[in-house]
Chains A and B, each alone.
Chain A
Amino acid sequence: MDELRKRAKELLESKTISVVIGYEEGTCNRTRALFVEKPEEASKLIFDSRCVLNLATYITKQEVKAKGKMAIAATIPVMRSIIQLAYEFQVSDKNLLVLGITPESNLMEFKDLLEVETYIHKFEIEINASYREKLDKLAGMTQTERWKFWIDELSPCFKCYACRAACPMCYCHRCTVDFNQPQWIPVPSHELGNLEWHIMRAVHLMGRCIDCDGCANACPLGIPINLLNKRLLEDAKRHFGGYQPVLKGDHLMSTFKPDDKENFIR
């Protein structure tokens, strides 16, 4: 990604940008986030297929925001997250420049977020075949089998909240699980609390999750928690025609249609 390095260096030298967020080589053949503040450090930036971490997680953090205007190397899922964050007034053109990375790994600089929005709308949010297979398999089970599946899957969870930390949409300063009056989610690592935590997480991300799989990648136990989000994505598609992050307009769960269809209310 010479283009990206060159552009990052230029931006930092001209002082239009104070920090460039990208990826660098980490340990154990993994990549990690890099915050470039000096032009000479721009050469550390890399980009390849291992770069799956959703960098949009960092742009809502005070420590990063305080540095000044940010530029971010953004793949399509990251761009989607950025648009959703902009919709929620977490970032704006004033403090963010998007250095887009196309699926062909080319650099694509965007003038403003409006351009980013237009660009990402060319791509549908789609669930890949292996996940679809898993979803179909679960849908084919009986209710008791599904219950057993999830209790088994979630029971080892010790609530490290890595899924929350990896998610760009989980930016609340105080998360509902951190409250103890009332204590909504039991603290101990225990099936009920784990189940409730993951249900709560899925519901809070309903209509906001853009399917980057960051949560499942971050999970130290490899629990497929993103299946919950994927299922809700499917349901949103089935019931309300799906969603795409937008800068302005209606959000899936904060709006309604008088003729929303259901078949279970008496």
Chain B
Amino acid sequence: MADFEPKIVAFVCNWCTYAGADLTGTSRIKYATNVRIIRFPCTGRIDYMLLLKAFDEGADGIIVSGCHPNDCHYTSGNFHARRRWIMFRELCDFVGIDINRVLFSWVSAAEGSKWADVVNTTVTRIRELGPYTEYQKVAKHPIREVTNG
């Protein structure tokens, strides 16, 4: 698996982590290029189904990141999200989804270097775990290929 390049999907909030990732770029910090960033208004808006869909579509790892507690632009979105993640993570673990492939973090708009670190650690971890064939094997199905056109 020497040539395996992990596909990472990052669901980030507009106000903190997206700005933080922007700062990583403007500070010219180099980090792994395996990440596809998807911007959301708030972590409270990130639906658990989107995480599952990312795995369906072939993601090997997922990052979910937003404002630190008490820093939410909408006052409490990240608190609600935190509760949901605690429960959702338990459920994923229970049905046998590899929760080591999902990384949750708080990255503020001032933490450009933390973002680089989060991405780099995730990429290293996923590289060790290898492609998520377990899920992809289930997701790839002739009927589904037809319905998806």
Residues in chain A within 8 A of chain B (CB atoms): 138-139, 143-151, 183-184, 186-188, 190-193, 195-196, 198-200, 202-203, 206, 228, 231-232, 235-236, 239-240, 253-258, 260, 262, 264-266
Contact = CB atoms under 8 A, between A and B. Distances in A.
A254 B80 CA distance: 7
A193 B138 CA distance: 10
A151 B138 contact: yes
A202 B138 contact: no
Contacts of A264: 89, 104
Given A150-B95, A198-B95, 11 more contacts: A145-B96, A147-B96, A187-B147, A188-B143, A190-B144, A191-B141, A203-B91, A231-B90, A254-B80, A260-B79, A262-B86
A146 B96 CA distance: 5
A146 B95 contact: yes
Q: Which 9 A-B pairs have the closest CB atoms?
A: A147-B96, A146-B96, A256-B79, A266-B105, A235-B90, A188-B143, A265-B104, A231-B94, A191-B138
A206 B94 contact: no
B31 interface: no
A5 B88 CA distance: 45
B124 interface: no
Main secondary structure of the interface of B (DSSP, over half): helix
B97 A188 contact: no
B118 to A, nearest CB: 6
Contacts of A262: 82, 85-86
A198 B84 CA distance: 17
Contacts of B5: none
Contacts of B97: 143, 147
A200 B97 CA distance: 14
Contact of B79 (A145, A195, A258): A258
14 contacts: A146-B94, A146-B95, A184-B53, A186-B144, A186-B147, A190-B144, A191-B138, A192-B141, A199-B91, A199-B92, A199-B95, A235-B91, A253-B83, A260-B83
Nearest to A229: B91
Interface residues of B, number: 40
Nearest to A206: B87
Contacts of B82: 256, 260, 262, 265
A149 B53 CA distance: 21
A240 B82 CA distance: 12
B50 to A, nearest CB: 10
Contacts of B80: 254, 256
A147 B106 CA distance: 29
Nearest to B47: A184
Contact of B139 (A139, A149, A192, A200): A192
Interface string B7-27: 000000000000000000000
A84 to B, nearest CB: 17
Contacts of A239: 86-87
Nearest to B69: A258
A138 B94 contact: yes
A266 B118 contact: yes
Contacts of B83: 240, 253, 255-256, 260
